[in-house]
Structure 1
Amino acid sequence: MRPRSGDTDRFGRFAESFARYMGTARFLIWMTMLILVWVVWNVPYGPERPRWDEYPFIFLTLMLSLQASYAAPLILLAQNRQEARDRVQQEQDRRADAQSHADMEFLAREVASLRLGLGEVATRDFLRSELRDLLESLQEQPDDGDDTGSEAGPDGRGRGRSGPRGH
């Protein structure tokens, strides 16, 4: 009979919490205190009292071996689950990096095309320099004293700059 998915997830979460607890200072302190109490209580050279372990420390060794035999697979299960999560995260990071790289390449091409396009467009500085040159050339022309800027034709009418010549 195969366990249901919810059961394996629950057991996996238990294994992770157990492995996490075994890696704490609290667990090490409690385990050290338990072993010290066990050793002190079962010292064969102390006062006569009932002992848990008739043969010095054989039962303690058995209990520690039993704990290790259960702890190792639970820790491995927790590591496998973490490795699976890390693989999924790494794949998502790889996709995000690939998308970012593609976006950067697109933007680099767009900036390059804008630079090429700007090479053909008159910039503000270029227009300013052209206007300055035009203003200087207008200021350098001799002023003949005529306010209208037009000359009188043979019939006495004024001839403008954009008007017909001689008529």
Structure 2
Amino acid sequence: MSFKITWKTHIMCIIIAFATVKLLGSSTDNILDNFFLKPYIFYPTKYLVINFCLYVLLLMIPISIVHESIHGLAYRIFGGKVKYGFKGIYAYTQEISGIPIDRTKFLIILLSPLTIMSIATLLLPSWLGGIIFLLNLLGASGDLYMSFKLIKYDSNSKIVDRIYGFDVV
């Protein structure tokens, strides 16, 4: 059985991200207000939407690097060999040795960046930790979606990471 990342997968990730924001409710507004209403935040333009987009882009670069590095570290801890890359605007980490990984270990690999970074944001000032938490949570929608798909399989299943997704063997 294979899980392939397609345009439908990306649509599902957008739906998961949207649902996450809705579930967080006013907390999302508080996180954004807490970040953007700080007097020391520099606004390069007079347009709030453009400033918001610029900050999201600037913050997503280091967040993505740390996120993917944690995936890579988790792969290495479980004996894998990794390659980093980009597919369009998405960064990815791929295990390239082709070794089958236990389903539980693969779930840990998928969810470790979300877990570790969420805990780490608690150590930051709330105005910065909140926005990093939110952006990482939204960026991890693909990891969450793959985890939801993966838990359907038997706990004794083995997973082989592929460029197109993963195979269950």
- TM score, norm. by length of structure 1: 0.24
Greater Rg over alpha carbons, structure: 1
Q: Which has the higher contact order (CA 8 A, sep 6+)?
A: 2
Larger strand share, 1 or 2: 2
Larger helix share, 1 or 2: 1
